[in-house]
Amino acid sequence: MQNDHELIKEYQNGDRTAFDKIVRRHLSNTIGFFFTITGDRMSAEDLAQDVFFKLYKHLKNFRFEASFSTFLYRVNLNAANSWLSRNKWKNLLHLDQAPDRGARDTEVEDEWNRKELWDAIAKLPKKQRSVVVMRIAQELPYEEISETTGMSVGTAKVNYHHALKTLKKWLKYD
Amino acid sequence: MIELEKRLNNTRVGDVQKTNKDEFLSKLETRLQNSKEDRRTMMTSFTMLIVICMLTITQYGVPDRLDSVYYVDEMENLLETDLWNISGDSLVYDESYLNDMAYFLLEEGYLWETYELINELEQEEEI
């Protein structure tokens, strides 16, 4: 089985099917990442479309300096950050649509919890938000977060700690 | 902190296996094709705009002799009246004046008027 770099080389040499193989290989994980953030399958698929559309153009100039997965995490993170920023303003305008907190329906309650959490994450400063997104939605170790975001491992840890502290305050955890 | 982390981790979906990959790829292909067509349309529009701007600036195709456009007006401005409405007997004017007039009209490029003038003079002489 060919690895990612071999497939990218083939794609750069004009083999379009190699790109399709890359998409097939990373699609589930990418949609899962966006599904965690958006909580909506359609939005997750749209964001994944955006990501692979960008990859189609940028992979022609891929320089093999980093692993493809790190490159993909970076593109995913940028798309997620844009989506969260866009939705931060949208949510401000739709506060009245929040589900009834007294509802006993577990599914609705779960969805509300999820939404409340990710709305709070969207309000974090960009560095803290990036670390939380990578850590939670992608389950990445600090070393990989450091490689993807360009900050040191220590800085990533500090940012994560600060992010949790802020979230705890905002979500009123004792 | 631990409880919050647990709650955060519970929102994780992980891999989504149910995605129809063929359908996804077909949508992506359509989007790429549309993007290519949009780019081609943009390029064509931009080229046409450049050509129109160039033609406007250089005034390509505009007639270089403006007197052919404003022929009638200019004739009236030049002579202030037309030759057919001169009140008076043309024989009253001496021959040198009429010759000068004919040369003047020829030099200015009014061939038809010159011909008319000569023709009129011949008719007058015959009478």
Torsion of CA A38, A43, A46, A48, to 10 degrees: 30
Residues B84 and B105 occupy one common structural domain: yes
Which residue range forms the structural domain that includes residue B86?
66-126
Number of domains within chain B: 2
pLDDT, residue B109, reads: 83
A43-91 residue pLDDT tens: 999 999 999 999 999 999 998 988 999 999 999 999 999 999 888 776 6
| Structural domain contains residue B14 | no
- φ, ψ at B80 (rounded to 5°): 65, -20
pTM for the complete prediction? 0.68
Residues B73 and B122 occupy one common structural domain: yes
Residues B23 and B56 occupy one common structural domain: yes
pLDDT, residue B47, reads: 96
Residues 87..126 of A with a Cβ closer than 8 Å to B: which?
A: 113-114, 117-118
| Structural domain contains residue B10 | no
pLDDT, residue B58, reads: 84
Please state, in angstroms and rounded to a whole number, the distance separating the CA atoms of residues A163 and A154. Answer: 14
- Residues in chain B, pLDDT under 70: 1, 14-15, 17, 63-94, 127
CB-defined contacts A:B, below 8 A: 71
DSSP string, A81-126: HHHHHHHHHHHHHTGGGPPPTT---HHHHHHHHHHHHHHHHHTS-H
CATH architecture of A4-170: Orthogonal Bundle (1.10)
- Residues in chain A, pLDDT under 50: 95-96
Q: Residue A171: its chain B contacts at CB < 8 A? A: 4
Residues B81 and B119 occupy one common structural domain: yes
Residues B80 and B36 occupy one common structural domain: no
Widest CA span in chain B? 126
Task: List chain A domain ranges.
Answer: 4-170
ipTM greater than 0.85: no
Please state, in angstroms and rounded to a whole number, the distance separating the CA atoms of residues A71 and A78. Answer: 11
Please state, in angstroms and rounded to a whole number, the distance separating the CA atoms of residues A85 and B23. Answer: 29
Residues B55 and B74 occupy one common structural domain: no
Residues B93 and B118 occupy one common structural domain: yes
Residues B97 and B49 occupy one common structural domain: no
The chain A residue lying nearest B17, using CA atoms, is A28
| Structural domain contains residue B3 | no
pLDDT, residue A39, reads: 85
Please state, in angstroms and rounded to a whole number, the distance separating the CA atoms of residues B29 and A82. Answer: 24
- Provide the token pair at B88: 């008076």
Residues B48 and B70 occupy one common structural domain: no
Q: How far A91 CA sits from the closest chain B CA (Å)? A: 19
The residue among B62, B94, B113 that closes a domain is: B62
